[in-house]
Structure 1
């Protein structure tokens, strides 16, 4: 008999099937890893993913909502997040992103998650990607 904890894939109904062999989120024991999410609007089966809009604000708010959906499906919340990684396509977006991020998390009761921000290339039209790591009590 194995002592290994089961690993459970988290795939909300609002998310499209990933383009490769990975899960939107994975929970193992009290650890929940959310894969990088972008600002795609919720989609019905068979629909092509559509960005929330062309602006950093629209995409950031939708990206954060997409991460939160996976956290919730995995039994967690932003209060459980210990690490957030942000991927921006343009260094000029850093200050605007920080303002949106601070506004979004203004009501957080506990200490905010640690955060890393890096600059990357993303598919055309996408400006931000976010992943998160949560530890459940």
Structure 2
């Protein structure tokens, strides 16, 4: 099986040694996406809800570029900077992702200043 790099201008390109996504067969892994505007590279929003919405827009853009959608996601990993943000993030997440929800893990970690959330995704497509 060939490993295919997935790129899109509809999600931010990061100055890091990573691909926006990788697809191998029916499996598509989306690298951690941040709440950055793809056109400007600037952080979108000051609340965790606003940042979650933008981050999930970026995840969705990479999924789409790889031939997938949120309905193909089996696992999302959410990285938050503060446990106090969980309820607000859950509200924005539920609205953006919709039911049936994929499996999810939430981890608390330090992100660069101004960033409150990061999300990566694992999708499996019907091939």
Query: TM-score, normalised to structure 2's length?
Result: 0.93
Give the one of 68, 75, 83 matched to 2:67. Answer: 75
Give the one of 73, 78, 88 matched to 1:86. Answer: 78
Provide the residue aligned with 1:129 in structure 2: 118
Give the one of 94, 115, 125 matched to 2:104. Answer: 115
- Give 5+ residue unaligned stretches, structure 2: none
Q: Distance in 2 between matches of 1:70 and 1:25?
A: 7
Mapped pair 1:62 → 2:54: yes
Larger radius of gyration: 1
Q: What whole-Å deviation, never above 9, does each CA across 1:30-60 have from its counterpart, x for those lacking one?
A: 00000000100121xxx5x101121111111
- RMSD, aligned CA: 1.2
Q: Distance in 2 between matches of 1:22 and 1:71?
A: 16
Q: Secondary structure at the match of 2:101?
A: coil
Stretches of 4+ aligned residues off by more than 2 angstroms: 14-18
- Give 5+ residue unaligned stretches, structure 1: none
Q: Distance in 2 between matches of 1:16 and 1:119?
A: 23
Q: What whole-Å deviation, never above 9, does each CA across 1:63-83 have from its counterpart, x for those lacking one?
A: 000000000000001010000
| Larger mean Cα displacement after TM superposition, 26-35 or 6-15 | 6-15
Give the one of 13, 19, 23 matched to 1:23. Answer: 19
Kindly state the Cα deviation for residue 21 of structure 1 after the two structures are TM-superposed: 1.7
Q: Secondary structure at the match of 1:52?
A: coil
